[in-house]
A = this chain, B = another copy of it.
């Protein structure tokens, strides 16, 4: 500033700041995005702004699966084509997106909205576990798939749920651990490789 540094025009600086707050967007990408928006046709920029506002105005949590939805209950919970006897428990709404992309799961979901993390002061009561227990009471559910992330906190949360639900006698499964498809044995870490060996199957 002292040497007469001129920042960009105020609305541009402000937009750069706003983009910079988003995850994975550093100051340089933020500037690039802001200048890209300046060159975009007005209608397209407006359409982005409106999409941001719409998402805040129209989105609620599904009273059943706790996924984000614009109509409660969420489409999957309402669907007659989905297997009502299976519930797949995930940490975040994004995980549902990933599982749906496989096209291989036909059951229902339940979003915890986080994991148990004593370090961050997040306990079971901060997650949507009470809502899960409510859904399991119906007695219709035959299998619960614990699909938390394969890391320390995800595994701890799965373990907690396993203990909590075991008295119910519902079948509990977890996603297979092993080598990622397209991956390289040479680069696999020893824990993954160990789990891949442990879970080996007849060919």
The chain A residues found within 8 Å of chain B, CB to CB, are: 3-12, 14-15, 17-19, 21-24, 29, 31-38, 42, 44-59, 68-71, 74-76, 79, 81-82, 92-94, 96-97, 100-101, 103-104, 106
30 chain-A/chain-B pairs, Cβ below 8 angstroms: A3-B103, A5-B101, A6-B76, A6-B79, A8-B96, A9-B69, A10-B70, A11-B51, A11-B54, A11-B58, A12-B59, A12-B70, A14-B51, A14-B54, A21-B44, A22-B36, A22-B37, A22-B48, A23-B32, A23-B33, A31-B97, A35-B92, A35-B93, A35-B94, A38-B59, A38-B68, A38-B93, A42-B56, A46-B53, A48-B52
Given contacts A24-B29, A92-B35, contact A103 B12 (CB under 8 A): no
